[in-house]
Amino acid sequence: MKSFFKYHFPFIAWLLIIFIQSSFTAIELPKVELISADKIVHMGVYGLLTFLCYISLIHLSKPNFPGRSPFLWSSLICMFYGASDEIHQYFVPNRSCELQDWIADAFGVIIAVAIIKYIFEKRYLLFRRELINGS
């Protein structure tokens, strides 16, 4: 039970936070010439979701199908959730379903997977599968 709250609960909680936040009326963020602040927020939110999803997948007590390919499955899960969130926003008053937002979500996922694979996995125990037997 302790490992659930350490490895899996943050991922589930972040999924709920995203869903709840996207159920509220939109706020206007300032526009920036190169990329809008809204897109940067999307990238950050879904990048964090990817980190949490990856940690949850590699720390499953019995590595099952998604746990064997955590980079692929965390990418697919988070991109699918981003798409479903955009569809959800279509039905929320004063919100819109935008392909550009989903693309920003997908870039956040891709950047997070690259950071995990090339930086975090080598430096931080939390991002390594060995913790399953060591905790």
User: What's the number of CA atoms in the CB half-sphere (13 Å) around residue 134?
Assistant: 6
Tell me the residue range of the domain where 97 lies: 2-22+35-134
The total number of structural domains in the chain stands at 1
Look at residue 28 and tell me if it is in a domain.
no
Residue 2, pLDDT > 90, answer no
Look at residue 9 and tell me if it is in a domain.
yes
pLDDT tens digits for range 13-31: 999 999 998 888 766 655 5
Q: For residues 18 and 13, what is the distance between their CA atoms, to the nearest angstrom? A: 9
Global pTM value: 0.82
Look at residue 84 and tell me if it is in a domain.
yes
